[in-house]
Structure 1
Amino acid sequence: MTTAKTYRGRSTGHSGGLARPRLVTNRRVWGTTGLVIFLYIVNYADKAVLGIIAQPLARELDFTASQIGLVGSLFYLAFTIGGFLAGPLNRYLTLKWALLVVALIWSVVMLPLVLAASFAVLVASRMLLGLSEGPATALMHTAAYSWHPPAKRGLVTALLGSSASVAKIVIAPILAFVTIEYGWRVAILVLSGLGALWAVCWLIGWTEGPHIAKTVEAEDSVPAQATGDASPTQPSVPWRRIFLSRTFVTCALLAMALYALTTVVLTWLPSYFELGLGYTALQAGSLFALPSVVALVTMIASGAITDRLIQRGVGSRVARIVIASAGVLVCGAVLVTLPLIEVPVVAVVVLSLGYGSALIALPLIHSAVSELCPPQQTAGTMGMYLALMGIGGLIAPYATGVVVEHAATAADGYALAFQGVGIFVAIGGILILLFANPERDRLLICRTP
């Protein structure tokens, strides 16, 4: 027999009228969550494509390593700016239409590069891509969280984060093959078609869930004890309380470091494997997936385990913060050895282990930040947090290109860059261990004046 719950409340749109009762089953919860995960996969494939086509672009248009790195950093500059638009978009549009608009934009902005390839067009198209993807990250988390209460968000956040791994495991090798066999322009066209396919599925299948409602009738809502969620009638709190809390600040700093690592991987890993370690272009495109396989396993496992711990009464401080800190400290310890390794296959394994250990932390600290605020402020909170996270991508790709250009060999330059990011990540892990406490800070944030 299928277990279902019906949630009644006011419309989460703008009409203010009563919504129809929502029948919530596991099939519906995970079906709609799957649409968000599908979009996240497309999102990361669009980010990763620059790393895959970087060398063909450089050869055709005579780009230097620092120019490719600059393009990567400018993308994340626009991405950071776009992140601040998540709150306004969620305020004036429903999640369904806000995500549809930004996804359609990023599906077409790279097409001018296909028609008129130049450095200026590459910069403009990647910056427009970053601007449109910036608010999408917070909106995707908000959309997924609308079907999952805070106590059960570790796994869904891990699944969202693992979409990056799926994109690199499944889509990146396909894009590498397409790039080698048919050219980088066809790879961009494939991604645009994938975005259009998602848009059709989204229009047919998406509805907003009961846990992130803009207005809900108190008498018709499910009790907080039953869902693990905060009371939907909880009043809004001043934004400064959220953004200045020790949990928000330290988690944002760690997120910047983790995003710096992620952006260096997305922008430079295939080039490192090809130019630094001596693999062929096709081998490099395939090996691009290996660190993501490790990250996929660690993120899903940590998300599922920490959700279970919280439901058994373990505090969020232990289940999310301490475990996240342990993962990034392992990453720092592993990556600091990378410049000492001369055997290519060992370097690939070490980098994969470091990356996988670090990404344990991402879904956990995302979930911790989502706990801090009342439900109606989730999009704004996650928008600010993820925009700050994007700062890590502003410097890291360009700095890596500069380090590679000035190193004795390409292999030395890439190894030094990954070592530096690993140390940055470990420092962030120490900070959250010392200062972050979601339960404490939520009580302080939601206190009555």
Structure 2
Amino acid sequence: MSISKVFHPPSHTKTAVPQSRRTAWGITAVLVLLYTINYSDKILLGLVAQPLKEEFGLTSAQIGLAGSLFFFAFAVSGFFAGAINKWMTLKWSLTFLAISWAICMLPMILAASFAVLLVSRILLGFLEGPSGALIHTAAYSWHPLEKRALPGAFISSANSVAKIAVAPALTYVIITYGWHASFIVMMIIGVAWCALWLSTWKEGPYGEKRKKQTTPDTSEPTDTNTDAARVPWTAIFRTPTFLAATAAVIPMYALLTVVLTWLPSYFEKGLGYSRLEAGTMFGFPSIAALVAMFSVSFVSDRLMSRGVSSRLVRGVLPAAGLLICGLSMVVLPYIAAPAMTVVVVSVGYGIGCIVIPVMNAAISQICPKPQLAGTLGTFLALMAIGGVVAPYATGRIVDTAISPAIGYSQSFQAFGVLAVVGAVIAMLFINPARDADRVMAHQKSS
């Protein structure tokens, strides 16, 4: 028997746990909504970039700096997800974070300036950093190990939903009422989510702390807290799966942050579309991402449930998508037609997005339940390193390029090369089942 099954038993061994798939997906939907707010806060800078440049006389490098500082704080605070999960319950930690994001909108509403922009984005990044790991931990408590790619895809789809649905709406608000109004809208939405969350959340049957649960042999409640199953953190972080998955998601996240920060500007200043058209087309890559993520994640979960190797399903398959994405970005400078550029960016980026939910599922496979939030927090924090570099680097490239169109395409090309390298590493080294056994063997021998 695989050692990893000691800590991640198959879902059929939990038949005594009362559960509702409707409740599971309902709570997952509420968490997706929170992640949509999270990403909407991120894309807000991209949507107001040109109005801010015009009002305050900012350069592209300054806007890029604000984006990079956000992701720097985002990356740093991501390492605290495990600690927050110990200090507070998921119910109250996510409530606190959502309220904090809303408050971070106030400085730009009341006293906007470049300095205020920098400070508020840094604070927002610091407060958003732990949320990804906590949101995934909450959602995974309602889904068994072999069926986590699809709920992970729904969570990751928040990025796409934000660009498809929220970005056009915020663009309309910005054009009609001014950019200040968009910050007010996001503040109101954040507070409203908290009311929904507090009335719906409860932890699922696959979470860490199920202290009152009946077993097949008795009606007496038993304590199933798995704290004793902890292993040294280095046993998890040094596995080839963790390291290779990190190498894959960093360049993909770099591309994601370039899209969040600069894609509307690319479409407007680089390709010649109007501001409203650029805000609307902001959702095109996300439509492609939604189709790719849901298709691949659904297939991934089905294959895992049927016993197909996790190395193939959660390693080779998403790495192939990242490879296609990287190659599509590499050819961008050689495309002359604006419409074709939009198509290549959209399709390539969309296919590459499958790497994030599937890699999250792979990471959840190699660690014990009590260390899931901490492991995912570290993984997502390392992933955010791409966001620390990419927005500012893109701004500098655009400022020094012959034209905005050339600058943006060269930036996408550079991160596309890194994506190709990450994809190759992932194909060669990711093997969740093997590394789960290694991690648990380490715990058994210690």
Offset, 1:105: 0.3
- 2:184 is the alignment partner of 1:189: yes
Q: Give how far 1:294 is off.
A: 0.2
**Residue matched to 1:151:** 146
Pick aligned residue for 1:263 from 257, 270, 280: 257
Q: Distance in 2 between matches of 1:211 and 1:103?
A: 24
Contact 1:263 1:393 in 2 (8 A): yes
User: In structure 2, do the counterparts of structure 1 residues 360 and 381 end up closer, same or farther at CA, with 3 Å as the change threshold?
Assistant: same
More displaced stretch, 408-417 vs 24-33: 24-33
Distance 2:371 2:214 in 1: 21
- Provide the C-alpha distance between the structure 2 equivalents of 1:183 and 1:221, rounded to a whole number of angstroms: 59
The verdict on how the C-alpha distance between 1:64 and 1:154 changes in structure 2, with shifts beyond 3 A counting, is same
- What do the CA deviations read for 1:383-420 (whole angstroms, capped 9, x no partner)? 11011111110110000000001111000000000011
Kindly state the Cα deviation for residue 221 of structure 1 after the two structures are TM-superposed.
Answer: 5.2
> Is the counterpart of residue 347 in structure 1 residue 341 in structure 2?
yes
User: 2:227 touches 2:370 (CA, 8 Å); kept in 1?
Assistant: no
Inter-partner Cα distance in structure 2 for 1:235 and 1:106: 34
* Separation in 1, partners of 2:180, 2:227: 51
- SS of the residue corresponding to residue 24 of structure 1 reads coil
Matching residue within 199, 203, 218 for 1:204: 199
Contact 1:216–1:232 (Cα < 8 Å) also in 2:
no
Q: 1:258-297 to 2 correspondence within 5 Å?
A: 258-297=252-291
RMSD: 1.9
Distance 2:127 2:440 in 1: 32
Q: Which residue of structure 1 lines up, in the alignment, with residue 111 of structure 2?
A: 116
**Counterpart-to-counterpart distance in 2, 1:196 and 1:222:** 42
| 2:360 aligned with 1:387 | no
1:372 to 1:231, Cα distance in 2 relative to 1, 3 A: farther
Cα distance in 2 between the residues matched to 1:258 and 1:297: 17
CA shift for structure 1 position 232: 4.8
Aligned with residue 230 of structure 2, among 231, 236, 246? 236
Offset from partner CA, 1:16-54 (integer Å, 9 cap, x none) = xxxxx9741111111111111110111111111100011
SS of the aligned residue for 2:325 comes to: helix
* Distance 1:251-1:169 versus aligned 2 partners, 3 A rule: same
Q: Using the alignment, how far apart are the partners of 1:104 and 1:216 within structure 2?
A: 29
Please list every run of at least 4 consecutive aligned residues from structure 1 whose deviation after the TM superposition is greater than 2 angstroms: 5-8, 214-217, 219-223, 230-234
> What's the TM-score once normalised by structure 2's chain length?
0.93
Identity %: 47
Q: Is the 8 A contact 1:134 1:387 kept in 2?
A: yes
Aligned partners of 2:105 and 2:186 also within 8 Å: no
Which residue of structure 2 aligns with residue 361 of structure 1?
Answer: 355
**1:427 equivalent in alignment to 2:424:** no
- Residue 96 of structure 2: aligned partner: 101
Amino acid at match of 2:418: F
Distance 2:388 2:415 in 1: 13
Q: CA offset at residue 150 of structure 1? A: 1.1
Distance in 2 (CA, whole Å) between partners of 1:364 and 1:221 is 31
CA contact (8 A) 1:147 1:210 kept: yes
Report the secondary structure of 2:229's partner residue.
coil
Taking the aligned partners of 1:165 and 1:420, their CA distance within structure 2 comes to 23
- Paired with 1:325 and 1:55, the residues of 2 have a C-alpha distance of 35
Partner letter of residue 143 of structure 2? H
CA distance in 2, matches of 1:391, 1:210: 33
Task: Tell me how far apart the structure 2 counterparts of residues 116 and 46 of structure 1 sit (CA, whole Å).
Answer: 18
- TM-score for both structures, normalised by structure 1: 0.92
CA separation of 1:438 and 1:199: change in aligned 2, threshold 3 A? same
CA shift for structure 1 position 210: 1.6
Report what 1:309 is aligned to. 303
Equivalent residue letter for 1:410: P
- Partner residue, 1:406: 400
Say whether the 8 Å CA contact 1:368–1:438 is kept in structure 2: yes
Residue identity opposite 1:385 in structure 2: F
Q: How many angstroms does 1:320 deviate by?
A: 1.4
Corresponding letter in the other structure for 1:343: A
Equivalent in 174, 179, 182 of residue 179 of structure 1: 174
1:47 has 2:42 as partner:
yes
One-letter amino acid of the counterpart of residue 278, structure 1: G
Query: What displacement does 1:216 show?
Result: 4.2
Of residues 410, 415, 438, the one that matches 2:409 is: 415
For 1:419, the aligned partner's letter is: Q
| Structure 1 residues 221 and 167, CA gap change in structure 2 (3 angstroms) | farther
SS of the aligned residue for 1:30 comes to helix
The equivalent residue for 1:85 is: 80
Query: What's the counterpart of residue 220 of structure 2?
Result: none
Shift of 1:214: 3.1
What letter corresponds to residue 284 of structure 1 in structure 2?
A: A
Map of 1:138 onto structure 2: 133
Task: State which of 331, 337, 343 in structure 1 corresponds to 2:331.
Answer: 337
Aligned to 1:74: 69
**What is the Cα deviation at residue 250 of structure 1?**
1.0
Q: For residues 49-105 of structure 1, what are the alpha-carbon distances to aligned partners after superposition, in whole Å with 9 as ceiling and x for unaligned?
A: 100011001101111000000000000000011101101110010001011101110
Distance, in Å, in 2 between the alignment partners of 1:6 and 1:442 is: 19
Stretches of structure 2 that go unaligned for 5 or more consecutive residues are 1-11, 218-223
Which position in structure 2 is the counterpart of 1:325? 319
Q: Distance in 1 between matches of 2:327 and 2:415?
A: 11
Q: Contact between 1:29 and 1:147, CA under 8 Å: does it hold in 2?
A: yes
Q: Distance in 2 between matches of 1:120 and 1:234?
A: 48
Q: Which of 24-33 and 48-57 deviates more? A: 24-33
* 8 Å CA contact retained: 2:211, 2:225: no
Which piece of structure 1 moves more, 340-349 or 208-217?
A: 208-217
Amino acid at match of 2:274: T
Task: Measure how far apart 1:131 and its partner are.
Answer: 0.4
Q: Which runs of 5+ in 1 are unaligned?
A: 9-20, 224-229
SS of structure 1 residue aligned to 2:203: coil
SS at match of 1:220: strand
1:446 aligns with 2:445: no
